[in-house]
Structure formats: structure tokens, C-alpha cells
Homo-oligomer: A and B are copies of this chain.
Amino acid sequence: MELYQGPLDIKSIFSRWLDEERESNYGAFIPFIGIVRAEDNIEGLSFDIYEPILESWFNSWVEIAKERGAKVKMAHSIGDVPIHTSSYISAVFSPRRRVALELIDEFVEDFKANAPIWKYDIVDGKRLYAEDRSSPMSGSGILTNKENR
């Protein structure tokens, strides 16, 4: 797992990952690249990350992938990322395409739901929490559940 301040250099990460697994005899390589869209007059997005949990979340996917004979990789931005640049790339390597296609889908969806990353729109140079696009992590609400009131 790789974290970078600001936008990702997607081409160099992609090339390096391809080289790293060149001799691993995987048959399918599927990267997912997130690009910051220009919408609602934003200048870009900004991200906070809680590394310890992101690390353990990612490691659990390394294990899931390993059980299927596959490998996952991921890089994400910290801080500001201008529109039309990238904040996120993840990838699956697998001997077989079905495993790769299913795994990249599950991995990216679980990333969206449970990776401890907070997103902000940048408008007029200010960070506005992207509340409408954010989801409570699994286990949310524990601090207010009824048995505790």
C-alpha cells in the first residue's frame, strides 16, 4: 500500500506495478483508476486518511486475494488533488480473468464502504466535507446503541 501527498503519478505507479509482477506468471492485471471529476464548481478534492486502519483493512484484502491465488495493490492520495488528476489506483493480478474481474469489483466496493478515508470538496480554496457521498463504516452506531442508553 502506498500513500502520497497530492495527486498520484498514475503512469509511473502503473509501470512499476507491471514490472514488479512481470515474472509472477499472472495472466490478468486489472487496475482501477479514480479520476477527480469537475462538478459543482469544485477545484479539486482533498483527503484525510487514518493509516493504521487503512493498513489493516488493506492487509485483510491481501489475505483474501492470496486465498484466491491473486494479488492486490493500492495507492491513494493524502491532501489536495486537483480536478482531472488521480487520487486512487488499485489493482488485482490473478492467473485467471474471472477471479480478477470479480476481485477488483469486490475490492473497490469494499474500499468505498470501509477504507478510513475522508473526502472534502475544495471550493474557493476551502475544504467542505463530502457528507452526501460518505457512508458510515461497518460497525457504526456502537456508541449510541440502545443497550447503552
Contacts and interface: CB of A to CB of B under 8 A. Distances in A.
A54 interface: no
Interface of A: 10-11, 14-15, 18, 22-23, 25-39, 84, 95, 97, 100-101, 104-105, 108-109, 112
Number of copies: 2
A18 B25 contact: no
A89 to B, nearest CB: 9
Q: Which of A23, A100, A105 has the most CB of B within 10 A?
A: A105
A146 to B, nearest CB: 34
B32 A37 contact: no
Contacts of A14: 11, 14
A36 B27 CA distance: 6
